[in-house]
Each structure stands twice: as structure tokens, then as C-alpha cells.
Structure 1
Amino acid sequence: MRTFVLETGFGLDNLVLRERETPMPGPGQVLLEMRTASLNYRDLVVVAGGHGRAVRPPLVPLSDGVGIVVETGPGVRDLAVGDRVAPAFYQHWQGGAPPDDLEAGRLGGPLDGVLASHCVFPESGLVRVAEGLSNAEAATLPCAGVTAWSALSEPWPLRPGESVLIQGTGGVALMALALARRAGARTIVTTSSPIKAARLAGLGADLVIDRNATPDWARAVREATGGRGCERVLELGGAATLNESVKAVRTGGTILLIGNVTGSMAELFLPLVLTRRITLHSVSCGSRQAFQALMDALAAGGIRPVVDRVFPFEEAHEAFRTLEKGEHFGNICLSLSQDPSR
């Protein structure tokens, strides 16, 4: 099998392609021949060595992918050779409240991820892929897709007629836009360029705000909502955008803390949060149960993940560099199969 591994340290210079013996599935496990992987901002942080002391080399990166079952171990009951499946981001969180050791079960750090031609997973950590989705589309779902699903389902489901503010044009943002529209919500999306703004409008966003043209975008959000603000804000930016999100959310509304692209240390003006009864709710992907719920929703049709570009397996370094530039629209993927037709 072929795999990219952070072998002796962090950084793209230490991400090397290696040939390894193909693993064998044990009891309750299956062997996947991987087809496609998808990159997330988190993967940049992992490769750079910024995801905590528990994530150490040697490590196979990336959490999001899709593959075909090619062998099953003893005791596997629900999956068979030929099934197309995707691994859950948290391999040990089936549903309900998150386990105390939540961080220990994450693919792509500290657990080995999917940037390989073959992977072994427990049957309990996999979800069948809905018909009609391409391999690249399905590969975007375990982390990015489930994060969007959770952000619109927690701490309670988004309701028809509510306004939701979504930041950016990455995989989480665009899946959230599609899901929010299906739920009957009014969607407001911020972006950084007129080209991306036009594409967002084409995807059905009710209002698109170019942050460069409108620096005080929180005021624009409030004006567009009759001075109230949005019921729900998907805060994907981090330190540089959090205070504006507080201004953009309505009294009694909820800010879903998802990303930290612009920084991890934020100064927050607490009186605006306290006196307006704003809820800050963190979202860290979701359980396998949430993944299954998302897959069931996509099986109904009408929603397809947005894939910006699919790189060949050998161009993993270029895929990471492209993601880091931030010029993409949607998800950046890697083909893991040596057969380009797959």
C-alpha cells in the first residue's frame, strides 16, 4: 500500500510518501481500498504541529475520506465486500453525549488518518455512502459535512423562517448554506471577494456580504434583519471575527463556535454577551449518529457538496498549499486510487 506519513516531524517537508505492507482486518474490522480524501483547515494545523501534544509523528494525516470494502474480519455483520463507506471523524463516539476521552478518537491525529491507499477501520466507525454522491463529494462529509450538520442541529434544530449567518466559502460553510436553505431559513453569507460573492448568490444565498467592500459587516447583517440580528451565527473565523459575530447575533441568539482560522486567542467584550443573553456553543464535528443523519438527509437528494478541485495522490503537498492560500471555493480533495477512472 501507499501512504503519506509525517515520519520524523511536522511540516510539509516531513510529509513523505512511503510503501507499507497492506494491513489485515482483525475481529470486527474491515479493510478499505480508499478512493478519495478531502482536506480541512484542521489538517493544516495538524501538519504544522499545532494540534496539541497528543498528536505526534509518525502520523498519517487527513480525517475525511471514502473507500470500498475489500476484506472483512471475523464478526463483521453489517458490511460486505463492495460496500462504499466513509469513516466517522470520531471513531469511538457513536451518539449521545461525547465521551470523556473525545480527543483520543479523532482521525488524522492522534489516530492515523486516510491519506493512504488502504486503511483498516472498525465496522462501528463507518457509515455507508448515499447513492448519487461521487467519491469526492462523499469524501467531504465526515468532518466538514458533519460539522455543518451539527451547527444547524445544536443546541436545537434550525427552524423555518430563522436567519442564519454563515462565514466563508469553505466546505463547512457551503454545506451549511445548502442545509439551511432546505430547512427554510434565511441565509446570509460573508465572503472576501466579489467573485466568490457571485458564486454564493448562484447557490441561493439570500444575502451575500463582501467583507472587503463592507468592513462593518455586522451592521449590514443587523440592517438586513430589521435591526434584530440573526438567530444563529456560524462563527468560522475565530479571533478576528468573534466580536463582530456578537454584534450580528440577535438578543437571545446563538453563536456556534466552529473555526479559528484567524487566530485562537480572542478578546471578547463580555457585557454584550451577558446582557443580551447570547449563547456561545462550540461545535467539534459530531458523532457517528450525526454522520448517519446527515447521510440520510443527502440520500433524499437535492444537496451536493461543493468540490473545488481534486488533486492526484502524488500531489498531496500541492493540495495542502492550495488550501493554505484560501482561494478555493468549497472542498479540496485528493484522489487516492491509482486508477484515474475510480
Structure 2
Amino acid sequence: MRAWRFAGGFGRDNLVLEPDETPEPGPRDVLLEMRAAALNWRDLVVMRGEHRRSVRPPLIPLSDGVGIVIAKGEQVEGLGLGDRVCPAFYQHWQGGPPPPDLGRGRLGGPLDGVLATHRVFPADAVVRVPDHLSDPQAATLPCAGITAWSALSDPAPVRPGEIVLILGSGGVALFAVVLARAAGARVIVTTSSSDRAARLREMGADHVIDRRTVPDWAGADRVLELGGAGTLNDSVRAVRTGGTIILVGNVTGNRADLFLPPVLTRRLTLHSVSCGPVSALRALVRAIDRHRLDPVIGRVFPFRDAPAAFDALERGRIFGKVCVSCQTEGPT
């Protein structure tokens, strides 16, 4: 097998392609031949060495991927050779309340991720994916897809007719547009790009707001706060009295100067989501299969060019998910 690793340290220059022994599955494990991987903003944070101290090199990056079961342990039931599955982002969180050591089980840091030709995972931490999805589409489900799903499911499921405001047009935001529309919600999206605005309307967004010219929005039942410190007060102004702000991302900063009076007097709910358990991945897969939903793919890089995929995500010019094919030429 071959795997991309942050070897001597973090940073793009330390991301190297290394040969390794193909692992053997334990009694309750499956061996996957990886087909595709997808990048998230979190992967840039890891690459920059800005994650918690528990995330250390050497490390195989990326949490989102899909593979084919090519071997399994003798105690594995319910999965067969040839099944196409995604490993869950949280390998140790099956369902219910999050465990106290939630951060310990994350793929792509501190656990080795999926940017490899072969990987072994516990059988109870992988989920079969819908047949209609391509490999890159299926690869986007474990973190980006589940984060959007959780944002529309917690603390209560989105309702038909509910007004959902989604900040931005990144990977999680595009998933949220697709899922919210399938649930019958009215979808409003903010963007600063006229090209992206047109694409978002094609995807079914009811309204697209150019945040460069329309700085104030109001009346949403639920706001998916994907920006962080720089946009949190905008979300407070945008949500209706009694509404909910779902804290998802922090790409604009980690520390927010939050003006509290409207939060207190308007009885707002601030609720955070951090991906979700294996049970949520199964629920997402059922919804995608039932509604025949298609994640939006922007570009797929060949395995040998994986570092260029990090560069592309960092530049932020691609509409849709940035993915890497894990198929290689020649021996692995």
C-alpha cells in the first residue's frame, strides 16, 4: 500500500507519499481498498499545525473517504467482500450523547485518516453507501455530510416550511442546501460571488443574498453559522425571536465579541454541532438514498497530486467538494 503522511512535521512540505505494508484486519475489522477521499476545512487546520496538541505527526490526513471491503475478520457480520463503505468520522461514537473523550476517535487527527490506498477500520464504524453515488460523492459523507445533517437535525429536525439561512457556499453549506430542500424547508444562502449565486439558485435555493451589498438579514427560523467570530453577531441579528443558531464553523476566527442583550431578550438558542455519530451517518445515507440526492463535486485530483488538492481548497475558488482519487497506477 501507499499513504500520504505528514512525516517530520506539519505543513505542505512535510506531506510525503510513503510505501507501507498492507495492513491485516483483526477479528472485528475490515480492510478497505480506498477509492476516494474528500477534503474539509479542518484538514487545512491540521496541515497548518493549528489543531490541538493531541494531533501530532506522523499522521495520514483526511477524515472523509470511501472504500471497498476486500478482507474482513472472522467475527464480522453484516458486511461482505465488495461492499462499498465509508468509515465514520468518530470511530468510537456509535450513537446517543457524545462520549467524554470525543476528540480521541476522530479520523484525520489524532487517528490516521483515509488518504491511502488501503486502510483497516472496525466493522461497526463503517457504513454502506448508496449505489447511485460516485466514489467522490460517497467520500464526502462522513464529515461534511454529517455536519450538515446534524445542523438540520439538532436540537430538533428541520420542518417543512421552516426558513433556513445558510452562511456561505462551502462544502458543508452545499450539503445543507441539498438536505434542507429535501426536507421541504425554505432555503436562503449568503455568498459574495455572483457566479456562486447562480449555481446556488440552480441547486434550488429559494433566495441568495449577496452579503457585499445586503449586510442585514432577518427572520430565519434556523441559521447555520459556518463563519465563526466574524459572522456570529450577523447571525444573531438574522434569526427570529425564539429561533436557533447552529454553530458549525470558525473559519473567520476563534474568539467572538458577542453582543448578549438580543440573545437574552429574544430567547435565542445557540447550539453547536461537531459532525455526528455512526448512527447519524446511517440516517444520512438512508435520506440520500431515499431522495436520490447528489453531493456537489468541484474537482477530483489524482492520488499522486494530493498536495495540490490542499492548495486548491486553500485558495477557495472551487465550487463543490475538493476530492482525491485513491486509485493508483502501478503496484501499491
Asked whether 1:335 is paired with 2:319, we answer no
CA drift of 1:296 comes to: 0.5
Asked whether 1:190 is paired with 2:180, we answer no
Deviates more, 1:93-102 or 1:71-80: 71-80
Distance 1:101 1:70 in 2: 31
1:225 alignment counterpart:
none
Of residues 250, 262, 266 in structure 2, which corresponds to 1:276? 266
2:299 alignment counterpart:
309
1:36 alignment counterpart:
36
Distance 1:327 1:98 in 2: 34
Q: Residue 63 of structure 2 contacts residue 142 of structure 2 at CA under 8 Å; is this kept in 1? A: yes
Partner letter of residue 331 of structure 1? K
CA drift of 1:301 comes to: 3.3
Asked whether 1:97 is paired with 2:97, we answer yes
Partner letter of residue 320 of structure 1? F
* Deviations, residues 265-298 of structure 1 (Å, cap 9, x unaligned): 1110011111111111001000100000000011
Three-state SS of the structure 1 residue aligned to 2:291 is coil
Deviates more, 1:27-36 or 1:324-333: 324-333
Q: Residue 168 of structure 2 contacts residue 189 of structure 2 at CA under 8 Å; is this kept in 1? A: yes
2:256 alignment counterpart:
266
Distance 2:95 2:286 in 1: 16
* Deviations, residues 191-221 of structure 1 (Å, cap 9, x unaligned): 121000011011110000111232x1xx2x3
CA drift of 1:80 comes to: 1.3
Partner letter of residue 79 of structure 1? L
Q: Where does structure 1 differ by over 3 angstroms across 4 or more consecutive aligned residues?
A: none
1:297 alignment counterpart:
287
Three-state SS of the structure 1 residue aligned to 2:61 is coil
CA drift of 1:302 comes to: 3.2
Distance 1:96 1:332 in 2: 31
Distance 1:96 1:79 in 2: 23
Partner letter of residue 51 of structure 1? H
Distance 1:302 1:339 in 2: 32
Residues 219-234 of structure 1 aligned to structure 2 (within 5 Å): 219=216, 221-222=217-218, 229-234=219-224
Asked whether 1:257 is paired with 2:253, we answer no
Three-state SS of the structure 2 residue aligned to 1:71 is strand
Partner letter of residue 291 of structure 2? G
Question: What's the TM-score, normalizing by structure 2?
Answer: 0.98
CA drift of 1:314 comes to: 1.1
2:58 alignment counterpart:
58
Distance 2:167 2:20 in 1: 40
1:248 alignment counterpart:
238
2:131 alignment counterpart:
131
Q: Residue 182 of structure 2 contacts residue 291 of structure 2 at CA under 8 Å; is this kept in 1? A: no
CA drift of 1:328 comes to: 1.6
Three-state SS of the structure 2 residue aligned to 1:300 is helix
Deviates more, 1:323-332 or 1:27-36: 323-332
Asked whether 1:288 is paired with 2:282, we answer no
Three-state SS of the structure 1 residue aligned to 2:195 is helix
1:156 alignment counterpart:
156
Distance 2:308 2:43 in 1: 14
Q: Residue 177 of structure 2 contacts residue 187 of structure 2 at CA under 8 Å; is this kept in 1? A: yes
Distance 2:305 2:229 in 1: 32
Distance 1:155 1:284 in 2: 13
Task: Give me the identity figure in percent.
Answer: 64
CA drift of 1:74 comes to: 2.2
Q: CA RMSD in A?
A: 1.0
Distance 1:265 1:109 in 2: 23
CA drift of 1:339 comes to: 5.6
Q: Residue 38 of structure 2 contacts residue 136 of structure 2 at CA under 8 Å; is this kept in 1? A: yes
Unpaired segments ≥5 residues, structure 1: 223-228
Unpaired segments ≥5 residues, structure 2: none
1:226 alignment counterpart:
none
Three-state SS of the structure 2 residue aligned to 1:100 is coil
Distance 1:199 1:166 in 2: 15
Asked whether 1:18 is paired with 2:18, we answer yes
CA drift of 1:184 comes to: 1.1
Q: How many residues are paired up?
A: 330
Asked whether 1:71 is paired with 2:99, we answer no
CA drift of 1:150 comes to: 0.5
Three-state SS of the structure 2 residue aligned to 1:10 is coil
